[in-house]
Structure 1
Amino acid sequence: CCQPNEEEVEILGPFPAQTPSWLVNDCKDEKETNSEAIAFDASATPQKSSPKRQSSNWEMSRSTYSLARQLSSMESQRPSSPLVDIKPIEFWAMGSRKEAVQPAILRKPYDKSEDYFRKLEPQLYSADSSGDDVDSLTDDEIVLRYQLGMLHFSIQYDLVHNHLSVRVIEARDLPPPVSCDVSRQDMAHSNPYVKISLLPDNKNSRQTGVKRKTQNPVFEERFSFKLPFLEAQRRTLLLSVIDFDKFSRHCVIGKVTMPLGDVDLVKGGHWWKALVPSSQNEVELGELLLSLTYLPSAGRLNVDIIRAKQLLQTDMCQGSDPFVKIQLVTGLKLVKTKKTSCMKGTIDPFYNESFSFKVPQEELSEVSLVFSVYGHNMKSSNDFVGRIVIGRFSTGPPEANHWLRLLGSQRTPVEQWHTLRSRAECDRVSLASLEVT
């Protein structure tokens, strides 16, 4: 599209295999000029043809040398990046066979790890290959493997009253107590009951009565959970069969879980389900809701026992008769003891009782409050349920956090739920617990 210039030549791409047309024409014009000059000199001076022929040969070699210099200068002046897109270049060998070569930047680097992963067999790592996957087993296979028995229950949702009804009917072929507690090898039968929970909220749970000395208990109890229909479909029903033990912590025999989104809740139904082992071998002791307030001007520490829930059942016949004992320990000395009233036949008592302790502000950092829950027993000593310690010798991070919140916000009530601990655990981590034992 433009005439080439000797001073600056722009190359838009790599040289093709053939010589450019403009370069061929330029050479032809120069050869024709040289031939005309030689012919003119020969006709003008034929007697000196030999020297002139030598001169023309020298001029042709000179023009060839200048052309080579132009090509080398054009090669050095080639721009670093071409102005047009270059397609993959093809190079031909001298023979008739043609081989296409792609630019190196477009080639995918070789990865040795691909050969390693090709040797793996995915079926060996799938979930179905796991021998411990309970979901892949039938109820008969679960019974043969674990031998924990079966549970009969029913579920139905009431759209009119917006509540879920769970009926615990019976259980059969439960294992003897020896599989749960070694200390009860002399006993031939269990004392089973069933705890019903809706996961993931495991707080609002219910439980049946205890059936004495039987491996085939008949419960026939119905429980109602107030919740919307869409919320019920997102929950998972957990039924835990527990062996009651008055002298130690209760033992979980087995459990049954059923996602409520997989069943027709309105139509409802009955199911026999095999019990599977539970990771929670022992039943939790329950929870206690407390509120603490300190009045620095009066030098008084106020304690409110609001309620407790899901306490460990201590009476096999009529539930528990729980009460709470509050003990003030200053340093390592027991100063004062108070207790709530006894709530009859319940494991979810409401107290709403307040207590006040005289504590000067300079002694507040040395104070510990010991809360112990007992089940009232008229025939013998009261049954211990659980304990926590709040203050200088707290029994854990939740208790310590509650005390720090009290110190940071005086004159303001500070309320918090606490999970009860065993006596041995409290004695191991708190010196104040040892003083009140």
Structure 2
Amino acid sequence: MAYIQGLLARISDLLLCRWTCRNCCQKCFDCSCCQTNEDEVEILGPFPAQTPAWLISSQNEDKDGDSDNAISELPPTLQDVSPDRRRSSSDTSRSTYSLARRISSLESRRPSSPLIDIKPIEFGIIGAKKEIVQPTILRKTYTPDDYFRKFEPRLYSLDSNSDDMDSLTDEEILSKYQLGMLHFSTQYDLLHNYLIVRVIEAKDLPPPISYDGSRQDMAHSNPYVKICLLPDQKNSKQTGVKRKTQNPVFEERYTFEIPFLEAQRRTLLLTVVDFDKFSRHCVIGKVSMPLSDVDLVKGGHWWKALVPSSQNEVELGELLLSLNYLPSAGRLNVDIIRAKQLLQTDMSQGSDPFVKIQLVHGLKLTKTKKTSCMRGTIDPFYNESFSFKVPQEELENASLVFTVYGHNVKSSNDFIGRIVIGQYSTGAPESNHWRRMLSAHRTAVEQWHSLRSREDCDRVSPASLEVT
């Protein structure tokens, strides 16, 4: 009977306790064959190498237990057995009771949050290959605006060759384009707060272009220079025209009233233009220089090679007008205030411009008036008023044709530019000015207008075809 109980105790040790030695069937804490040497230490898993505190405390309690207490606690059936058998059975019972006690102690002392080895979540289907699903990585999403913001517009502009020209020297630009060179100087006057630009001369300008697009080798240019501070191209200066020469000497000096800090943010643009009385003036080439790159106070002289310009033709100029309609009197009042940067028609004295105003009802010319002639200027001030009798029921069919001419004593007057305002306006700015006048009775409405060529006006406005 005792043998069977001992065998059952050993079997219970093997089945219930995972710390039972497989070789001697004793506790691994007391077994000599399971003790590890100091040189043979194996660290399993991600757990720390040291023994947890709750396990150490349970071991100490077991080792401190008294053997007599253990015997006294044995069941009564084993107390009457002989000493030898009692000793063997007591050893077995002691191990069984100690194991049960330790298990209950471990259950009570087990941490509430055991260590867990975290691994990627695996999803799979029977017969298919397992696929490991990794944690999701948040990626930044791009909107269409962010995508197109990466592009640099200057790389795709029409003037994209400007970067190439910046990398070239003046000698390389001259040999590549063969447009000549321009000599000029700049200096800033701190006492009077203005910038001085001096246009000195040009050399080796190309011959003019004929009507078939070829160079006229035997002809000569009639060059002049336009000066402006970008981005303000409207308030520009202009030199006199030099007759029939490819190496003109200008020696002209111009001032721009501008604060010093503002001047450093501007770019000086010098445009060399070929004067042609019988057609539009053609641009030969240009030179641009950021004023932030030079010492304005000290000043300096430069020879710069001309580069091609995207503007092949010079603008015809601008005209400032004021319109006012009085419904009660049926009067259409027109004020010709001023013009600026008109196309030069006289090589020696600039221009002698005047403005002709013509009233057209439907497609019939009814009235013509003109301003006085301003001598030797391309920036005339008129400040002249004119009044036309226009009943309110006829106002919607009326058109005003403004034509700027250069006075010529020897021949017919030279055409400079034209616009049409009213029923047959030549463009959106002219139509907008007419609508503003109609919506603001008894109030003068001013607006600048860019002059157009005769061909452009005749193509879009039937009223332009009815006047001379």
**2:151 maps to which residue?**
none
Contact kept? 1:192, 1:212, Cα under 8 Å: yes
Q: Is residue 445 of structure 2 the alignment partner of residue 411 of structure 1? A: no
Pick aligned residue for 2:165 from 134, 153, 157: 134
Contact kept? 2:351, 2:406, Cα under 8 Å: yes
The 5 A counterparts of 1:345-424 are 345-424=376-455
Structure 1: how far apart are the matches of 2:411 and 2:297? 48
- 1:412-432 CA-to-partner distances (Å, cap 9, x unmatched) read 111111111222222333333
CA-CA distance at 1:60 after TM superposition: 4.5
**2:71 maps to which residue?**
39
CA-CA distance at 1:345 after TM superposition: 1.6
Contact kept? 2:58, 2:105, Cα under 8 Å: no
Which amino acid is the alignment partner of residue 183 of structure 2?
H
**1:75 maps to which residue?**
113
**2:293 maps to which residue?**
262
CA-CA distance at 1:294 after TM superposition: 1.5
Structure 2: how far apart are the matches of 1:34 and 1:75? 33
Contact kept? 1:177, 1:187, Cα under 8 Å: no
Pick aligned residue for 1:25 from 52, 57, 74: 57
Structure 2: how far apart are the matches of 1:424 and 1:403? 22
Q: Is residue 352 of structure 2 the alignment partner of residue 318 of structure 1? A: no
TM-aligned CA distance change 1:201 to 1:64, over 3 Å:
same
CA-CA distance at 1:165 after TM superposition: 2.9
Contact kept? 1:41, 1:52, Cα under 8 Å: no
**1:86 maps to which residue?**
none
Greater Rg over alpha carbons, structure = 2
TM-aligned CA distance change 1:434 to 1:57, over 3 Å:
farther
TM-aligned CA distance change 1:179 to 1:65, over 3 Å:
farther
TM-aligned CA distance change 1:184 to 1:431, over 3 Å:
farther
Contact kept? 2:325, 2:442, Cα under 8 Å: yes
Which amino acid is the alignment partner of residue 47 of structure 1?
V
What TM-score, normalized by structure 1, do the two folds share? 0.75
CA-CA distance at 1:347 after TM superposition: 0.8
CA-CA distance at 1:208 after TM superposition: 1.6
Structure 2: how far apart are the matches of 1:158 and 1:380? 45
CA-CA distance at 1:19 after TM superposition: 3.4
- 1:4-57 CA-to-partner distances (Å, cap 9, x unmatched) read xxxxxxxxxx96444322332135436766965531146971418488777655
Farther-moved stretch of structure 1 (308-317 vs 25-34): 25-34
The 5 A counterparts of 1:167-182 are 167-178=198-209, 182=213
**1:306 maps to which residue?**
337
Structure 2: how far apart are the matches of 1:238 and 1:131? 14
TM-aligned CA distance change 1:40 to 1:211, over 3 Å:
same
Number of residue equivalences: 379
CA-CA distance at 1:215 after TM superposition: 0.9
Q: Is residue 465 of structure 2 the alignment partner of residue 431 of structure 1? A: no
CA-CA distance at 1:376 after TM superposition: 1.9
Structure 1, gaps ≥5 residues long: 1-13, 79-103, 110-124
The 5 A counterparts of 1:179-328 are 182=213, 185=216, 188-328=219-359
CA-CA distance at 1:303 after TM superposition: 0.9
Structure 1: how far apart are the matches of 2:430 and 2:264? 36
Structure 2: how far apart are the matches of 1:244 and 1:413? 37
Structure 2: how far apart are the matches of 1:200 and 1:131? 17
Structure 2, gaps ≥5 residues long: 1-45, 117-133, 140-154, 156-160
TM-aligned CA distance change 1:392 to 1:131, over 3 Å:
closer
**2:178 maps to which residue?**
147
Structure 1: how far apart are the matches of 2:299 and 2:305? 19
CA-CA distance at 1:62 after TM superposition: 4.1
Structure 2: how far apart are the matches of 1:380 and 1:243? 22
Structure 1: how far apart are the matches of 2:305 and 2:211? 17
Which amino acid is the alignment partner of residue 365 of structure 1?
E
Structure 2: how far apart are the matches of 1:198 and 1:321? 26
TM-aligned CA distance change 1:350 to 1:77, over 3 Å:
same
TM-aligned CA distance change 1:18 to 1:232, over 3 Å:
closer
**2:22 maps to which residue?**
none
Q: Is residue 195 of structure 2 the alignment partner of residue 164 of structure 1? A: yes
- 1:84-140 CA-to-partner distances (Å, cap 9, x unmatched) read xxxxxxxxxxxxxxxxxxxx99x999xxxxxxxxxxxxxxx9xxxx89522222222
Q: Say which SS state the counterpart of residue 408 (structure 2) adopts.
A: coil
Farther-moved stretch of structure 1 (28-37 vs 331-340): 28-37
- 1:372-407 CA-to-partner distances (Å, cap 9, x unmatched) read 211122333322211222233332232222223222
Contact kept? 2:354, 2:371, Cα under 8 Å: yes
TM-aligned CA distance change 1:51 to 1:359, over 3 Å:
farther
CA-CA distance at 1:192 after TM superposition: 0.8
Structure 1: how far apart are the matches of 2:105 and 2:436? 93
TM-aligned CA distance change 1:206 to 1:41, over 3 Å:
closer
Contact kept? 2:71, 2:90, Cα under 8 Å: no
Structure 1: how far apart are the matches of 2:397 and 2:103? 105
Contact kept? 2:74, 2:93, Cα under 8 Å: no
CA-CA distance at 1:144 after TM superposition: 1.0
CA-CA distance at 1:175 after TM superposition: 0.3
Contact kept? 1:154, 1:167, Cα under 8 Å: yes
**1:9 maps to which residue?**
none
Structure 2: how far apart are the matches of 1:330 and 1:66? 116
What TM-score, normalized by structure 2, do the two folds share? 0.71
TM-aligned CA distance change 1:268 to 1:18, over 3 Å:
closer
Structure 1: how far apart are the matches of 2:53 and 2:262? 83
RMSD value over aligned CA atoms? 3.5
